[in-house]
Amino acid sequence: MATFVEGTVRVTVPATSANLGPGFDTLGLALDLRDELSGEVTDGGIEVVVTGCGADEVPLDESHLVVRAMRMGFRAMGAEPQGFVLTCTNRIPHTRGLGSSSAAIIGGLVLARAMVAGGQLLLDDDAIFRLAAGLEGHPDNVAPAMYGGFTIAGHDGERWFSVNVPVDPRVTAVAFVPSEPVSTKVARGLLPATVPHGEAAANAGRAALLVAALSGRPELLLAATEDKLHQDYREPAMPESLALIRALRADGVPSVVSGAGPTVLALTDVAAVEALVARAPQGWDAHHLVIDTEGARVE
């Protein structure tokens, strides 16, 4: 029978940006904007307390995404607490393309593991990643949320995989976050069932170049972040985002739709951050977000 840790356990998990232009459903980057989750085992029932982003929109029962992830983690370890209190402090904007759902899933799994004595022996990091990718359905956000940094992730038909690639320390990011959300379902619904072979080939080349650019050749980031596979198709749902991307790229700033959008992510160096932040459209928030190298962690 599993033994549970006494007292409160606290976990933080970073925001993520997936796709990064050409790396659709494959490439992801962790960003230092962290949700905080805490849990404590009790004698019965669950209590969910949420503050911050999305606090008035999420359920406070078993259907809460963090609770679902925790239940999955407990089952994988053969541990079922009689009850627990979950407190979520959300800093990652919801439905903006910054990986809030992946943060919830990874955070819930890591929190459940931390609440079980010896949980690291029962459920290692790779097992958590595989569970999270299966629940999320694609790995591009859950991989950097789990491992931190820049990840290349996918599914080979039998298993989920993820590889970390170092990021050049000169690279940092600015996220332009609009006030209005776009759901992932709506954004994905705009994508065609097929694309021209030439566009697919161009994206494959750009995705490969992006790995080299992020890991040590940042001067290539503008060319490496060019996308022909998904961003333009999504323009009807986020016209202001695509307009901002085109304006930034015209000025030589590597810019992409973050995840399913509508957030715009610009990759830059520290010297250019202040000027970039000033370019946020009216009503948008701009955040300087450094690359997070740690991923989810127990505090």
Please tell me whether 68 is known to bind a ligand.
no
In DSSP terms, 116 is beta-bridged to 4
Please tell me whether 98 is known to bind a ligand.
yes
Please tell me whether 131 is known to bind a ligand.
no
Q: Give CA–CA dist 163/150, Å, rounded.
A: 8
Please tell me whether 73 is known to bind a ligand.
no
Please tell me whether 234 is known to bind a ligand.
no
Q: For residue 8, what are its two tokens?
A: 């409160």
CB 30 within 8 A of CB 295: yes
Q: Give CA–CA dist 216/166, Å, rounded.
A: 8
Please tell me whether 247 is known to bind a ligand.
no
Residue 13's nearest CA partner among 97, 110, 94, 131 is 110
Please tell me whether 230 is known to bind a ligand.
no
Please tell me whether 101 is known to bind a ligand.
yes
Please tell me whether 20 is known to bind a ligand.
no
Please tell me whether 162 is known to bind a ligand.
no
Please tell me whether 79 is known to bind a ligand.
no
What DSSP assignment string belongs to 157-214? Answer: SS-EEEEEE---TT-EEEEEE-SS---HHHHHHTS-S---HHHHHHHHHHHHHHHHHH
- Which segments are annotated as binding site? 93-103
Known binding-site residues for ATP equal 93-103
